[in-house]
């Protein structure tokens, strides 16, 4: 398809644009992979002053791709400019953990970024902006941003667990010898951290219960769950840097499904503001099974949680509550 003549471009803001994920993500967005082959995009790249030059270099490369859908690129270190009229905001930039930094230092440093970006979104973005937080600790950064963005509904803030979801799909497909398209009904619950719970209870493989096709409960408990939980660390160990191409791909999947809808007959995993579903305290940004249509997400209801699943969900939600309490104690929730 070619871009519809006269269609106003969608404004997509990407923070941390000069980073590793940005480098994989931006060409995918500009090529139409995220919003569709008929949807022109205008990119706004936000970086810190020291990296604006590098982001401008990425913008030069995007120009050099001559993407038919790319209507323009702005590079800036000013959040108000970056979020001006933003329809979609991908918050990728965050403060990495440095030498000698404690977890509290990391929460504090990111708190400064996500309070400011929440405010800038509220003041400048489109009324129906869709926000995806990728930068870690993603769930809690999203919680901070939404608490500092008066006027934007909390439902417009999400955090990324799609990479964990895709990792779970890939592991199950490999084990059972089916293409990834044969896998449905996987859920990643909770935090984007090693406590997350990748859940196969309701999953199917070519329409048959995954637990039956796998056959061996020990594979799930002793291999599948820890492999998915620890995959981020395994990539860092192997690559010497955290996942970037797969994280960018997951961000494209997350936004595409949110905007264009999840496929019929299945769901995906997104971290969204809890309404109390499945006993997850209201207000926490937790990963749930989610379907999307008409640009809105909805938590899938009625799934069974056996005692083992309940215990795993309680652990990861407990971690989210502890992170919330820590940032609340720092005054970051307004
Ligand atoms: P990176 O260090 O290569 O790039 C981050 C970029 O963000 C840098 O260019 C930095 O200058 C920029 N930045 C920092 N503060 C900023 C600010 N206030 N405004 C704008 N830009 C800012 O890191 P990366 O590999 O691209 O990863 C980015 C983040 O994504 C990290 O926090 C990483 O842990 C996280 N991540 C999340 C997932 C997930 O599944 N949710 C997966 C992989 C990585
Ligand atoms: C990932 O899941 O690959 C990253 O979030 C890992 C990390 O800790 O940066």
pLDDT at residue 1, as a whole number: 41
* pLDDT, averaged across the chain: 96
Per-residue pLDDT band at 6 (split at 50, 70, 90): low
Angle separating helix axes 138-147 and 307-329, nearest 10 degrees: 50
Per-residue pLDDT band at 100 (split at 50, 70, 90): confident
Q: Which ligand 1 atom lies nearest to the CA of residue 162?
A: 40
Q: Is 134 in the pocket of ligand 1 (CB under 6 A)?
A: yes
* pLDDT one-digit tens code per residue, 123-147: 999 999 999 999 999 999 999 999 9
Q: Is 94 in the pocket of ligand 1 (CB under 6 A)?
A: yes
* pLDDT one-digit tens code per residue, 232-279: 999 999 999 999 999 999 999 999 999 999 999 999 999 999 999 999
For residue 242, report the distance from its CA to the centre of ligand 2, in Å: 6
pLDDT at 99 over 50: yes
* CA-proximal residue: ligand 2, atom 2 (nearest): 232
C-alpha to C-alpha distance for 103 and 83, rounded to whole angstroms = 29
Was 136 annotated as part of a binding site? yes
| E strand intervals along the chain | 10-15, 41-46, 70-76, 88-91, 130-133, 157-159, 183-184, 187-189, 197-199, 204-205, 208-209, 268-273, 285-293, 296-299
Pocket of ligand 2 (CB under 6 A): 136, 163, 232, 235, 242-243
* CA-proximal residue: ligand 2, atom 1 (nearest): 232
* ipTM higher than threshold 0.90: yes
Name every residue whose Cβ is closer than 8 Å to that of residue 33 and which is 6 or more positions away in sequence: 252, 256
Q: Quote the distance between the C-alpha of residue 246 and its chain's center.
A: 12
* pLDDT one-digit tens code per residue, 212-232: 999 999 999 999 999 999 999
Was 251 annotated as part of a binding site? no
Full-model pTM:
0.97
Q: Which ligand 1 atom lies nearest to the CA of residue 134?
A: 41
Was 171 annotated as part of a binding site? no
Of 23-37, 97-111, 316-330, minimum mean pLDDT range:
97-111
Per-residue pLDDT band at 334 (split at 50, 70, 90): confident
Was 329 annotated as part of a binding site? no
- Asked whether 88 and 11 are in contact (CB, 8 A), the reply is yes
* pLDDT one-digit tens code per residue, 182-195: 999 999 999 999 99
Q: Is 165 an active-site residue?
A: no
């Amino acid at each position: 398809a070619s871009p519809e003549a006269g269609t106003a471009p969608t404004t997509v803001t990407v923070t941390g644009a000069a980073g590793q994920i940005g480098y994989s993500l931006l060409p995918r967005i500009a090529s139409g992979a995220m919003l569709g082959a008929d949807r022109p995009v205008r990119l706004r790249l936000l970086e810190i002053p020291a990296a604006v030059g590098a982001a401008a270099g990425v913008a030069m490369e995007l120009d050099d791709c001559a993407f038919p859908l790319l209507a323009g690129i702005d590079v800036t270190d000013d959040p108000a400019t970056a979020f001006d009229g933003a329809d979609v905001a991908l918050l990728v930039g965050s403060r990495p953990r440095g030498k000698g930094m404690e977890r509290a230092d990391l929460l504090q440093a990111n708190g400064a970024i996500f309070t400011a970006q929440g405010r800038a979104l509220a003041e400048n973005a489109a009324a129906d902006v869709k926000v995806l937080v990728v930068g870690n600790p993603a769930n809690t950064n999203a919680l901070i941003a939404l608490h500092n963005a008066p006027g934007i509904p909390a439902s417009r803030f999400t955090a990324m667990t799609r990479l964990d979801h895709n990792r779970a799909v890939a592991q199950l497909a490999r084990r059972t010898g089916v293409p990834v398209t044969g896998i449905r009904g996987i859920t990643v619950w909770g935090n984007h951290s090693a406590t997350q719970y990748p859940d196969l209870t309701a999953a199917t493989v070519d329409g048959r219960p995954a637990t039956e096709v796998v056959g061996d409960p020990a594979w799930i408990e002793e291999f599948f769950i820890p492999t998915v939980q620890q995959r981020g660390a395994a990539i860092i160990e192997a690559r010497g840097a955290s996942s970037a191409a797969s994280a960018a791909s997951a961000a494209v999947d997350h936004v595409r499904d949110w905007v264009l809808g999840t496929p019929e007959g299945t769901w995906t995993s997104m971290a969204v503001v809890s309404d109390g579903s499945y006993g997850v305290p209201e207000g926490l940004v937790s990963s749930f099974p989610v379907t999307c249509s008409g640009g809105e997400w909805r938590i899938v209801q009625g799934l069974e949680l056996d005692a083992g699943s309940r215990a795993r969900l309680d652990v990861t939600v407990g971690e989210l509550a502890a992170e919330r309490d820590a940032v609340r104690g720092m005054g970051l929730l307004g």
